[in-house]
Homo-oligomer: A and B are copies of this chain.
């Protein structure tokens, strides 16, 4: 590799300073590596909406010393509740109580994405072996047997022993490893946090509530000690199915939700409509590591949001990658990356697949909805069978034994 004239700097480059990239920096620095995070935006920021963190994530945040701060700025909901968006009826719930926390060794938290990002940024800044750089858009990556060199759009170059792509759904780094494209689900999402006073209708300030219905759902929960209220409306766009250019518009949103139960209809005016997100995922892959380059989070395994595991799975990546690099030198990085990817891929792929099925279950119509409601109504709220695989320990990573 002619371009890498000098010996590569020891350490890791993380491309992307979002939640997954910063968590990776923390975990890898904790394993004794120096890390440089390259963020293309002028500052570290997240969208103005909520995020859910299940115990498989909060266990790790606790290990990284961040949990107390996040609990302070977040909300510990009492329950996850599924309600019919059509009848309004409560179908089932999961109690996020002492029994739940003890079983899964961590709480369930909801918080503002920017509060989570700020905590991660501060934690990275407090570590001398982590360097955060903004305004760095990576345009070229060169790799040889000794290391990697990236070139940014401002002409600057950085070298390291290895590189982690934490650049999200549309990851440019992934293109070096996997030849695929994001898959559009045809669903669009409106989401955002508003001051609690702006919300005239909410089912509960203690619960995360998902109203589910044919081809749509609506999620509500409080944020930031109850000062904010997060609302997410998601629907399958008929405009998309008809091949229209501009689809999933606010007008279609209003049309689609007009037939929901009064509680949902009454909550919609406070929904933020200033931005919308199309829901994508990709097919699972068996490996996302190649030589000295690997991926984390959405770059590795983008998933539909129905299990609320996007950030949680990125944290599992970060922890697993840290464990894989622990005690290993620059010459062992390819093996460590391969081991990390092998360890994480089965579970991450399972989450990708099951998120699709869970979405189908939420959105099923006709007699399928009848069967789903009956099944959920019969469910014991303390039946953990359907969360054990997700929140409980698995064999995928050594950190899980910690």
**Could you list which residues of chain A lie within 8 angstroms of chain B, going by C-beta atoms?**
357, 360-361, 364, 366-368, 370-372, 374-375, 378
Contact = CB atoms under 8 A, between A and B. Distances in A.
Contacts of A372: 368, 371
Given A374-B375, A375-B375, A378-B378, A364 B361 contact: no
Nearest to A362: B367
Contact of A366 (B360, B370, B374, B378): B360
B366 A371 contact: no
A372 B370 CA distance: 9
A361 to B, nearest CB: 6
| Copy count, this protein chain | 2
Nearest to A358: B367
Contacts of A371: 361, 364, 368, 371-372, 375
A361 B357 contact: no
B367 A366 contact: no
Classify the interface of chain A: helix, strand, loop or mixed: helix
Given A374-B375, A375-B374, A367 B367 contact: no
A386 to B, nearest CB: 10
A337 B282 CA distance: 65
A366 B366 CA distance: 12
B375 A364 contact: no
A367 B370 contact: no
Contacts of A360: 366-367
A366 B368 CA distance: 9
Nearest to A376: B371
Contacts of A375: 371, 374-375, 378
Most buried by B among A361, A367, A372, A378: A367
B368 A357 contact: no
Nearest to A367: B360
A367 B357 contact: yes
Contact of A370 (B357, B370, B378): B357
A389 B378 CA distance: 20
A375 B364 CA distance: 15
Contacts of A374: 375
A187 to B, nearest CB: 15
A401 to B, nearest CB: 32
Given A361-B370, A364-B366, A371-B372, 10 more contacts: A360-B367, A361-B371, A364-B367, A364-B368, A364-B371, A368-B372, A371-B371, A371-B375, A375-B375, A375-B378
A368 B357 CA distance: 11
A-B pairs with lowest CB-CB distance, top 7:
A368-B368, A360-B367, A371-B371, A375-B375, A371-B372, A364-B367, A361-B367
A358 to B, nearest CB: 9
11 contacts: A357-B367, A360-B367, A361-B367, A361-B371, A364-B367, A364-B368, A368-B372, A371-B372, A374-B375, A375-B378, A378-B378
Nearest to A357: B367
Contacts of A367: 357, 360-361, 364, 368
